[in-house]
Structure 1
């Protein structure tokens, strides 16, 4: 007998049986695990191996979500972008850890996650955002399962359905007013607006654009970087501005420059290392560009909207003017044609009617 916890005895059939305590029932009665061997030495070795395995398993029963969170961050820090890492930490520290942080991993159940999801939906978060919260939490739970041999079932988690809303475009009248105003008051900010409206640039890509990225001879614009403001990784609410690689490998792309933009680009051409929006090596960050854009809308007597609406307008205009979707997807830097169709393409009613009437015109 080993400290009244493990024993090895010989059975009537000649085999040896080893047992050790793995748990206790609610009434205090011990729960045993058994191993068998032909000899005492074989049984003792099996008992030692079983104890080590069970010890590792039991250690997982006592690990908290907060402890696994720290380990998981260390595991992913070198394989995700800085902005992605900051996004994950924000979601955990703002939403997930306050609810689950002190909870043992083995205490996490589908029912508790469903209650968490309902609470977040009731607080006004969108279905898409709540699904994103679960996705990052699930990644951590999978890590816990693999590292600590914890059995967690998530098959009964019920996720809200996220509506795939297409980004609305500017009306034709608004576009004419905007372009007319920008042309009459052309400056570097206005040039940036034209690049987004007629080339589909994201605001972060525009802020990261340098004159060296533009080949005026071959009329090509290259997207090599993006500018973002992210939360710092020290747990504070402070943010920092970063210049990083584009959103994805598909986002690093070359785009043909429309001929009518060439005179404006030639007029403002600066040194290769200067950012286009500032005309110097100083970065104009996205929220500053967003503010300047809204001032332009106000001056042009156009309803205020988010800067991203320019990109949505470009995408819809392309489809309405006969762009094939595959080409448009490449210009936008999307990973798939499906993403382009689901996110941006929503032809106007006038275009729809024109296409419907074109069928009868062929008869």
Structure 2
């Protein structure tokens, strides 16, 4: 059994209530209660309707960013000034806008629970906001995408075909890692996205256990479970390397690989192609942008990407090109 399979077993066999801080009482009373106590109750109230990876992310954020500053602070002593100092400290640490935004969103949600329990004043909530600019992600240009395609077609390995599949469908790296040969239908020439793989902090980091675990789960939302057509030029290449249905596409085995391994190999490809550094997700951004620039309706693109709404596609993945800006200017002049 591979190391990854063992880690998967550790995570999936673990009763979920073992990670809920020994199931302490999920109520908070005003006397001498701290932000740490409130955060614990907040986690307990959410643990039953969120995915394990989401829960681990909440725990990591709370323990890394919130509790070091507020853990021992009594709820009756929490002030708006202290919250502003907290925000300023995060900026001084040069944390990314995404990290700051996530920490504040979680902290505000914790405080909202305190307001609902009549433990905090609603006025504190106005301090939990900050203007964070969403960084514009790298998008592969048409020339870069074509150059990469030519290089990968020449290599014609399982991994190069996998990259081409992502380039031509916009699937996520975790979805690629979770893809099995049984998910590929050569009658309809489609792939079914049924699972995704990620590495998360161990929900139960007991002595002797790994700090992180590989987590195999269903996709992040109902719309993420979808069928995606295979680019026609890849069908024969896929048929030529087909394995047993239960084997993972990337490894050809019953044990999977993980996103960070794919990211490393992708970086190597970028160097061989003499392309600027970017992360794997740039192909997903580029796919969405290219589709809309070619006039494909946003609803279709959103469905292929597995987004919960068309707005997500427009707000996050679509970037206005210089060509589109020029066409807009020329149209009214």
- The interval holding the TM-score normalised by the smaller chain is 0.7 to 0.9
Specify which structure has the higher proportion of strand: 1
Judged with a 3 Å threshold, the aligned counterparts in structure 2 of structure 1 residues 124 and 281 are, in CA distance, closer, same or farther, namely: same
Could you say which residue in structure 2 is the equivalent of 1:332?
Answer: 305
Indicate the SS of the match to 2:215: strand
Question: 1:12 maps to what in 2?
Answer: none
Equivalent residues of 2:108, 2:125 under 8 A apart: no
Inter-CA distance 352–258: structure 2 relative to 1 (3 Å threshold):
farther
Distance 1:192 1:140 in 2: 41
Aligned residue for 1:28? none
Q: Which residue of 1 aligns with 2:273?
A: 300
Q: 1:322 aligned to 282, 290, 295, which one?
A: 295
User: Could you tell me how far apart the structure 1 residues matched to 2:186 and 2:320 are?
Assistant: 32
Answer yes or no: is the 8 Å Cα contact 1:166–1:342 preserved in 2.
no
- Look up the match of 2:198: 228
RMSD in angstroms over aligned alpha carbons?
2.3
Aligned position for 1:90: 60
Q: Which runs of 5+ in 2 are unaligned?
A: 1-26
Relative contact order higher in (CA < 8 Å, ≥ 6 apart) = 2
Deviation at 1:71, TM superposition (A): 2.9
Shift of 1:220: 1.6
Equivalent residues in 2 for 1:49-64, closer than 5 Å: 59-64=29-34
The 2-side partners of 1:353 and 1:142 are apart by 46
Q: 2:164 is matched with which residue? A: 194
User: Partner residue of 2:18?
Assistant: none
Cα deviation for residue 304 of structure 1 reads 2.3
Give the corresponding residue for 1:130.
Answer: 100
SS in structure 2 of the partner of residue 229 of structure 1: strand
Does the Cα contact within 8 Å between 1:168 and 1:346 map onto a contact in 2? no
Q: How many residue pairs were aligned? A: 303
Q: CA deviation at 1:194?
A: 0.7
- Distance (whole Å) between structure 1 residues aligned to residue 126 and residue 275 of structure 2: 48
Q: Is residue 80 of structure 2 the alignment partner of residue 101 of structure 1?
A: no
Q: CA deviation at 1:235?
A: 5.4
CA change 1:204–1:294 in 2 (3 A) is: same
Question: Are the counterparts in 2 of residues 210 and 272 from structure 1 also a CA contact under 8 Å?
Answer: yes
Q: How high is the TM-score relative to the length of structure 2?
A: 0.84
How far apart are residue 157 of structure 1 and its match? 0.6
* Matches of 1:62 and 1:134, distance apart in 2: 24
1:152 aligns with 2:121: yes
Separation of aligned partners in 2, 1:350 and 1:75: 49
Instruction: Quote how far apart the aligned CAs of 1:337 are.
Output: 1.4
Measured after TM superposition, the shift of residue 178 of structure 1 is 0.7
- Displacement of 1:298 in angstroms is 1.5
Quick check: which one's helix share is greater? 2
Q: Does the CA-based 8 Å contact 1:164-1:342 persist in structure 2?
A: no
Looking at structure 2, the residues matched to 152 and 268 of structure 1 have their Cα atoms a distance apart, in angstroms, of 62
Equivalent residues of 1:213, 1:272 under 8 A apart: yes
Distance 1:284 1:235, change over 3 A: closer
Q: TM-score, normalised by structure 1?
A: 0.78
Q: 1:145 to 1:240 in 2, by over 3 A?
A: same
Match of 1:142 in 2: 112
Q: Where do 5+ consecutive residues of structure 1 fail to align?
A: 1-56
